[in-house]
Amino acid sequence: MSGDRLPVAVDAMGGDNAPGTLIEAAHLAAEAFGVPVLLVGDPERLGDTGPLEVAPASQVVEMGADPARAVRRLKDSSIVRAAEAVRDGRASSLLSAGNTGAAMAASLLRLGRIKGVARPAIAVPFPVVGSTPSTLLDCGANADCQPEWFVQFARLGTAYARHRFALERPRVATLTTGEEAGKGNALVKAACELLEQPEWAADCGADYVGNVEGGDLLAGVADVIVCDGFTGNVALKSLEGGFDLLRAAVGDALVSTAEAAAISGMVHELIDPVFDFFDSGQTGAAMLLGTRGVTMISHGSSSAITLANAIRTADELAGEGIVQNLRNSVGNPTE
């Protein structure tokens, strides 16, 4: 810990290559970015962590485990202990690349909901060329939603986008199947009726700009895009998976002939930053909005540098008091 600044609690046992990649990320965050880290996990498996602080946790929630059940039963698991470190004021925020459902459940059960929030939502910034990202939520916390929750997602997303991307008055849109009003399924239509009422937007300082389609997610037409967690999860994974496959196929084409291979190094130098930019995994992490603390969620397959960026983002968001901003936006500043 450096001075009075609280560390970021890192679930060191969660992720495809845990704990190795998490330890590497923690070192990177501490050394390159100066962010203090608290590694939460089994000290024996963590080994020598050098100057990094360790909070012991003897259990691990496996990737395939039932989240709520695992969090209830595995009270000494790394994700539960990480959430407790935030709750108890020993960490500013937490990051997990493990079981997403377990991270949500631990955050919800140990940190509690912000009053007025029915359901927390996962917010993912989608990259936009030449502009700030568009934040999509919910990307998977709530597979089945009520129309009223869309208004809360809009309020939470507004506070997040304003805070993270310095947007004075975020533009909020609904994700649906056509730009015209009245397009979509019954859930979205009901949600749009609520979102079209001006009070919520005036209250939290947003502009509601109506409907956008899947093709608009990366086009910069809105700063916050709300949807149910099923649709958001499918859209996010479709794009990530599609970009990965396209990138691999382009890479293959660039070594498909001797002439191509001769220039492929130079071409990769030009186009790899573009693919990296479109890889939302590179932005570091999604944030669970709506609990009383900063909970960042990364892909299990994230690289150490991606996770180090996520640790830095967690530190920044916590240091700048995003939870208070979320409370204000939802309309319960004191609770």
45 or 247: whose CB is closer to a copy of itself? 247
| Strand 121-126, strand 93-96: pairing | unpaired
HEC-encoded secondary structure of 87-103: HCCCCCEEEECCCHHHH
Q: Which of 78, 96, 158, 233 binds a copy of itself (CB under 8 A)?
A: 233
Give CA–CA dist 198/208, Å, rounded. 8
| List of residues 6+ apart from 87 with CB closer than 8 A | 110, 111, 293
Give CA–CA dist 220/130, Å, rounded. 9
Q: Is 177 in the site for a copy of itself (CB under 8 A)?
A: yes
Q: Is 175 in the site for a copy of itself (CB under 8 A)?
A: yes
Q: Is 54 in the site for a copy of itself (CB under 8 A)?
A: no
Q: Is 16 in the site for a copy of itself (CB under 8 A)?
A: no
Burial of 191 (0-12, 13-18, 19+ CB in 10 A): buried
140 or 170: whose CB is closer to a copy of itself? 140
Q: Is 168 in the site for a copy of itself (CB under 8 A)?
A: no
Q: Is 240 in the site for a copy of itself (CB under 8 A)?
A: yes
Q: Which stretch binds a copy of itself (CB under 8 A): 89-97, 222-230, 304-312, 325-333?
A: 222-230
Q: b/e map of 143-163 (b: 16 or more CB within 10 Å)?
A: eebebebbbbbbbbbbbbbbb
Q: Which of 50, 72, 276, 277 binds a copy of itself (CB under 8 A)?
A: 277
Binding mask 104-133 for a copy of itself (x = CB under 8 A): -------------------------x----
| Strand 134-137, strand 121-126: pairing | antiparallel
| List of residues 6+ apart from 251 with CB closer than 8 A | 268
Q: Is 202 in the site for a copy of itself (CB under 8 A)?
A: no
Q: Which of 20, 43, 116, 214 binds a copy of itself (CB under 8 A)?
A: 214
Where are the alpha helices (H) located in 122-228, listed in sequence order?
Answer: 147-165, 186-195, 198-204
Q: Is 259 in the site for a copy of itself (CB under 8 A)?
A: yes
* Nearest distance in Å: CB 113, a copy of itself: 21
Instruction: Report yes or no: 290 and 114 within 8 Å, Cβ to Cβ.
Output: yes
* Nearest distance in Å: CB 209, a copy of itself: 17
Give CA–CA dist 335/330, Å, rounded. 11
Q: Which stretch binds a copy of itself (CB under 8 A): 4-12, 107-115, 169-177, 283-291?
A: 169-177
Instruction: Report yes or no: 177 and 159 within 8 Å, Cβ to Cβ.
Output: no
Point out which residues bind a copy of itself (CB under 8 A): 64, 129, 140, 143-144, 175-177, 180, 184-186, 188, 213-219, 227-231, 233-246, 248-250, 253-254, 256-257, 259-260, 263, 266-267, 270-271, 273-275, 277-278
